[in-house]
Chain A
Amino acid sequence: MIRRAMFWLVLLGLGCFAQTAARADATLDKIKERGVLVVGVMLSGPPFGYIDPTTQEQRGVNIDLAKSLADHLGVRLETVPVTPPTRVAFLQQGKVSLLLANMQWTQDRSEILTFVPTPYDEVGGAAVVRKGSGIKEWANLKGKPVCVSQGSNFTKPLAEDYGAQVKGFPSQPESLLALKGGNCVAAVHDGAAVKLMVEDKKSEWGEYEIPIPNDLIPSPSVIWLRKGETDTQAALDAIVKEWHRTGWLIETAKKNRLPLSPLLNRLHEQFKAS
């Protein structure tokens, strides 16, 4: 009797398994079923993501990319602002379906999360320093205090490869404030954002420069998903390839004044040809 019950139970279990296996993964199903794509976006400032004070609307590259993803999937977009400390937790909780949060590919991150293989940009670190500080290359930062945002992927190369004394701050504004307050010799952040800032805010950043010509560990920016979401990954990868092929990414970067990384042109040529 017990055996027979076990047999049916196992069969039922297999049946359920077969049924789930035939469907897309949980995230893609959820997106289609509810007709809404929930994206975690980072509002770390222009050009990536920021709030327009007059309309209270979110703007920037991250938002444009999220809108396009929702359009391609034929669903409504909902954005959830995330910060470096909350982004991975929000993704793993299921609160957001994917992250467009200035998260570059790193080995450590790829071990706990799934990512869309085609990158949408490439970002490296740039060091903002006071003029006349004598810093000309990354090796000059050895033994000197350097400000970064907490959880930044620049922490490791700065500390391990260049021997800098790294100080983490909750976010970019605090780190830049610490640089101005003389707490560190350089502040290292996403190159695109700080280059735009030093260029635009001459009155405030006139005393500062970005003297090191090469970016620190230029790494691909990718869309992050929960571990094992392969169907969502495939669906999104097709969209990102389409972005490159049509040149839409380059247009979007120009529209938001994001400096064009070599990767954007390279992938545009590559996918246009194929």
Chain B
Amino acid sequence: MTSARLTLRLAPGRGWNWAALSGAIALAVIAVALLPAPPLLSTLLRWLPHLAQGFAMNVLISVLAVGLGTLGGIVLGGLELSPFAAIRRPTHWFVQTFRNAPLLVMVYFSSYIFPFEISIQHHYVAFPDWLKATLGLALPASAYVAEIVRGAVRSISTAQWQSAKALGFRRIQTLRWVILPQCVKRALPPWMNLYATITMGTTLASLVGVADLLNAANNASAAVHSTNFTIVVYLSILVWFFLYCYAISAVTKALERKYAFH
């Protein structure tokens, strides 16, 4: 867990500056690209509602995938710490399998193995592509969260387990009331990294036909039929994601401060 501590120490100082610098660079590049052609800017503005709709889909997929992944990952992480090998081993292999699967493969996998609709006695319930992509991203997310949780729990000194035991806590009670609250602070930075990674990963959903931001950008560049616009619209994707993830990192820092009670 030294790396997590290191990130924490760096975050308010150099990390912050780097983020601001790269944001400024992205904005500057766009400004330079747009300067010689003001019509491009107005075209981009005209496409803004369509792009925004696409981005809303990325946000929805990322929030759901990381939400499901976090719930699943906390359970898996707990199981990985089980004293019983019969529980620990299968969980370990589940986590290793999905942690080492490329996100794109998971997205393809989920979108082609699940049916596009489920029929229940002549009622057809659609199983939309975005939901399939969400599940495809939630599985590896749960495996990553499991490792984050396991790492965080392991980083707490074993003396605390022993003290809790001496005070009459059962193992599960120790985990819930003593260990996990201290883990929140340690797990937050890697969890935020995971959220950012999964958010970037949501653009993979466009490859299986989900109407996300990348898909909206493709629609826009196909309709406008101008190579300069294609460049601008792709640069704008960078800015959308940058601004979103930057905001998330600010929220994470606030949360870290809130939980920094030791």
From residue A195, how far is it (CB to closest CB) to chain B in Å?
A: 12
Task: Determine whether the beta carbon of B230 is less than 8 Å from that of A174.
Answer: yes
* B222 x A56 contact (CB < 8 A): no
Indicate if A113 sits at the interface (CB-CB under 8 A).
Answer: no
Chain B binding site: helix, strand, loop or mixed by DSSP? helix
Interface size in chain B (residues, C-beta < 8 A): 26
Which one, B49, B215, B218, contacts A173 given CB within 8 A? B218
Q: Do the beta carbons of B116 and A45 come within 8 Å of each other?
A: no
Complexed CA–CA distance, A86 and B208 (Å): 6
Are B219's CB and A50's CB within 8 A? yes
| B227→A43 contact, CB < 8 A | no
Interchain CB contact (< 8 A) of A82 among B47, B209, B227: B209
- A57, chain B: closest CB distance, angstroms: 11
The answer to whether B219 touches A51 (Cβ under 8 A) is yes
B262: Cβ under 8 A from any A Cβ: no
Contact status B230-A81, CB under 8 Å: no
Pick from A54, A85, A173 the residue with the most CB of B within 10 Å.
A173
Complex Cα distance A93/B112, Å? 8
Are B209 and A80 in contact, with the CB atoms below 8 A? Answer: yes
Tell me which residues across on chain A come within 8 A of B49, comparing CB atoms.
53, 56
B contact residues around A85 at 8 Å (CB): 207
Q: Among B50, B223, B228, which residue has its beta carbon within 8 angstroms of that of A46?
A: B223
**Chain B hits for A90, CB < 8 A:** 209
Give the number of residues in A that approach B within 8 Å (Cβ atoms). 33
Contact A56 B218 (CB under 8 A): no
Report if B176 contacts A (CB, 8 A).
no
Whether B230 lies near A177 (C-beta < 8 A) is yes
Contact present for A89 and B112 (CB under 8 Å): yes
Closest to B122 in A: A33
* Residue contact B209 to A45, C-beta cutoff 8 Å: no
Query: Of the candidates A45, A172, A204, which one forms a contact with B228 in the assembled complex, judged by CB atoms under 8 Å apart?
Result: A204
Using A80-B209, A173-B230, A204-B226 as known contacts, list a sample of 17 further A-B pairs with CB atoms less than 8 Å apart, ordered by residue number in A. A43-B219, A46-B223, A50-B219, A50-B223, A51-B223, A52-B223, A81-B209, A81-B215, A82-B209, A85-B207, A90-B209, A93-B112, A94-B116, A172-B222, A174-B230, A177-B227, A200-B225
B residues adjacent to A (C-beta < 8 A)? 46-47, 49-50, 53, 112, 115-116, 124, 207-209, 211, 215, 218-223, 225-228, 230-231
25 contacts between A and B (CB under 8 A): A43-B222, A45-B222, A51-B50, A51-B220, A53-B49, A53-B220, A56-B49, A56-B53, A81-B209, A81-B211, A81-B219, A85-B207, A86-B208, A86-B209, A93-B112, A93-B116, A94-B116, A173-B221, A173-B227, A173-B230, A176-B227, A177-B227, A177-B230, A200-B225, A204-B227
